[in-house]
């Protein structure tokens, strides 16, 4: 697809038609904004007024010539420019499947010969506003149906609709004193369901967390790293703070758990308790995480006023041995 700034862009045709006055349609069709006299005279010679309708829905559109052909093969009924980009305008029968074939052929022609078409239009009428435009841009294509587009035809054309292809149905207004026409954009791509949100990346490691893991003894550093990473995944709203002796995780301003290292041992405890648990292996990490999840769920239930009790594992036992007794036993 072409860059958005170079796309041919439709405006809201219905509102444009409603806001502007209905002008009497004379032999040359509704009068449009003033433009190069020779161009308007040559293009509007058929008295159809299509250029006027296109200018109302394509900002910057300017018709340059009509009946474009290449090697005696007709390519477009009307050819012009929008913001320096060539635009091919084709009339099609929106009830016929051949409209999709014409759209594909016009897009292919515009992609192959966009640069040559831009030079051809420049010879007819120099474009003073084309400075800085890429001359190799493919030509945009506009399909106009006077009879509307059948659902079957739209089904075939819709995948092509975008910056390089626009579809319009032409409507006509008639009253006792005037006739007028306007274009309505159709075939816009269907709105697709919003994509599933990407998985949330892990929260960046805080300086306090990095310092704590780096200061752990070698024998328990990997276990400590696993423990703090898994605690951080318990809830997206956790906040981890370090105090020089360990790490404390808070949820909603309340402490959820704490991890520290005492006498070379990795210890963890639940918020609001004074009983630390020594973590020596991945199995110890698993057990503590079970306790932590049960504690977290119970706290959430209490906050919601639920009477349901959550007990995934037995409560943490009270300490039986002191630190000194444990140290002597290990020796």
What is the pTM (predicted TM-score) of this model?
Answer: 0.46
pLDDT of 128: 64
Task: Identify the band that residue 169 occupies on the pLDDT scale cut at 50, 70 and 90.
Answer: very high
pLDDT higher than 60, residue 281: yes
The H-or-E segment that residue 79 falls in is strand 73-82
pLDDT higher than 50, residue 256: yes
**Which domains does the chain possess?**
4-186 (3.40.1350), 207-314 (no CATH)
pLDDT of 1: 43
pLDDT higher than 80, residue 12: no
Task: Identify the band that residue 172 occupies on the pLDDT scale cut at 50, 70 and 90.
Answer: very high
Give the mean pLDDT of the chain. 77
pLDDT higher than 80, residue 131: no
- If you write DSSP's letter for every residue of 148-193 in order, what string do you get? ---HHHHHHHGGG-BTTEEEEEEEEEE-SS-EEEEEEEE-PPPPPP
pLDDT of 258: 92
In this prediction, residues 146-158 reach a mean pLDDT of 91
In this prediction, residues 14-34 reach a mean pLDDT of 40
Query: Is residue 307 classed as helix, strand or coil in its secondary structure?
Result: coil
pLDDT higher than 50, residue 250: yes
The residue among 263, 262, 202, 208 whose CA lies nearest residue 234 is 202
Asked if residues 107 and 100 have their Cβ atoms less than 8 Å apart, the reply is no
In this prediction, residues 281-309 reach a mean pLDDT of 79
In this prediction, residues 33-53 reach a mean pLDDT of 55
For β-strands 85-92 and 140-145, DSSP reports them as: parallel
Asked if residues 260 and 242 have their Cβ atoms less than 8 Å apart, the reply is no
In this prediction, residues 30-44 reach a mean pLDDT of 41
pLDDT of 314: 47
pLDDT in tens, 74-127: 999 999 988 888 999 999 999 998 999 999 999 999 999 888 998 898 899 887
pLDDT of 108: 92
Cα–Cα distance for residue pair 111/176, rounded to 1 Å: 45
pLDDT of 85: 87
pLDDT higher than 60, residue 162: yes
pLDDT higher than 70, residue 33: no
pLDDT higher than 60, residue 280: yes
The residue among 33, 48, 127, 52 whose CA lies nearest residue 86 is 127
Residues 6+ apart with CB under 8 A from 214: 221
pLDDT of 331: 57
- When mean pLDDT is compared across 29-38, 105-114, 201-210, the lowest value belongs to 29-38
pLDDT in tens, 185-197: 997 654 445 455 5
The H-or-E segment that residue 251 falls in is strand 246-251
């Amino acid at each position: 697809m072409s860059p958005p700034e170079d796309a041919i862009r439709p405006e809201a045709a219905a509102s444009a038609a409603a806001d502007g006055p209905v002008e009497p349609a004379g032999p040359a069709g509704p009068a449009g904004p003033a433009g190069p006299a020779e161009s308007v005279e040559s293009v509007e010679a058929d008295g159809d007024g299509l250029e006027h309708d296109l200018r109302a829905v394509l900002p910057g559109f300017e018709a340059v010539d009509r009946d474009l052909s290449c090697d005696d093969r007709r390519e477009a009924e009307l050819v012009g420019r929008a913001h320096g980009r060539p635009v091919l305008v084709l009339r099609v029968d929106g009830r016929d499947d051949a409209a999709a074939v014409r759209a594909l052929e016009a897009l292919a022609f515009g992609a192959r010969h966009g640069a040559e078409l831009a030079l051809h239009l420049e010879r007819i009428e120099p474009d003073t506003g084309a400075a800085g435009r890429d001359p190799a841009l493919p030509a945009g294509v506009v399909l106009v149906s006077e009879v509307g587009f059948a659902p079957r035809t739209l089904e075939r054309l819709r995948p092509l609709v975008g910056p390089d292809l626009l579809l319009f149905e032409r409507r006509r207004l008639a009253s006792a004193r005037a006739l007028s026409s306007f274009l309505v954009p159709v075939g816009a791509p269907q709105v697709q369901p919003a994509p599933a949100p990407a998985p949330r990346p892990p929260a960046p490691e805080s300086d306090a967390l990095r310092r704590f893991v780096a200061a752990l003894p070698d024998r328990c550093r990997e276990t400590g790293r696993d423990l703090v990473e898994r605690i951080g995944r318990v809830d997206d709203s956790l906040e981890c703070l370090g105090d020089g002796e360990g790490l404390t995780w808070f949820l909603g301003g309340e402490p959820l758990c704490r991890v520290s290292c005492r006498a070379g041992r990795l210890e963890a405890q639940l918020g609001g308790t004074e009983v630390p648990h020594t973590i020596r292996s991945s199995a110890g990490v698993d057990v503590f995480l079970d306790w932590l999840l049960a504690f977290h769920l119970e706290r959430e239930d209490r906050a919601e006023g639920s009477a349901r009790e959550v007990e995934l594992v037995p409560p943490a036992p009270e300490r039986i041995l002191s630190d000194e007794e444990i140290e002597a036993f290990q020796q």
